[in-house]
């Protein structure tokens, strides 16, 4: 979804330019009123939102992979557990 948000303004610009070229080449006597494509604030909002979504997805995947990894117990933890068991008996 983040990649779609990042690419949306680029796709909109391409479609705008393509449609304009098609209009002007089909009827040479026609005129086209050019309007402003997309607002720069909208472009920035799409870019920042998409980038944040991708970043959060990457961080979530990394955290999930870290939780799924079975970390080996260190020797200190084993010794402390044995000492507690011996103290209780």
Domain contains 25: yes
Domain contains 84: no
Domain contains 15: yes
Domain contains 37: yes
Assigned token pair, 37: 């494509």
Domain contains 88: no
Q: Which of 35, 48, 38 is nearest to 9 (CA)?
A: 38
Domain that holds residue 48: 2-70
Other C-beta atoms lying within 10 Å of the C-beta of residue 3:
12
Domain contains 85: no
Helix (H, G, I), strand (E, B) or coil at 28: coil
- The model's pTM is 0.56
Tens digits of pLDDT across the chain (89 residues)? 788 888 888 888 888 888 888 877 877 666 767 776 778 888 888 889 999 999 999 999 998 887 777 666 665 555 565 666 566 65
Domain contains 86: no
Domain contains 89: no
**Which residues are within 8 A (CB) of 52 and not within 5 positions of it... i.e. 6 or more apart?**
2
Q: How many domains does the chain have?
A: 1
């Amino acid at each position: 979804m983040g990649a779609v948000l990042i690419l949306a303004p680029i796709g909109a610009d391409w479609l705008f330019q393509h449609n304009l070229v098609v209009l002007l080449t089909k009827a040479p006597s026609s005129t086209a009123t050019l309007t402003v494509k997309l607002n720069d604030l909208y472009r920035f909002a799409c870019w920042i939102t998409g980038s944040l979504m991708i970043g959060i997805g990457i961080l979530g995947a990394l955290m999930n992979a870290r939780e799924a990894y079975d970390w080996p117990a260190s020797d200190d933890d084993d010794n402390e557990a044995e000492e507690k068991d011996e103290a209780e008996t």
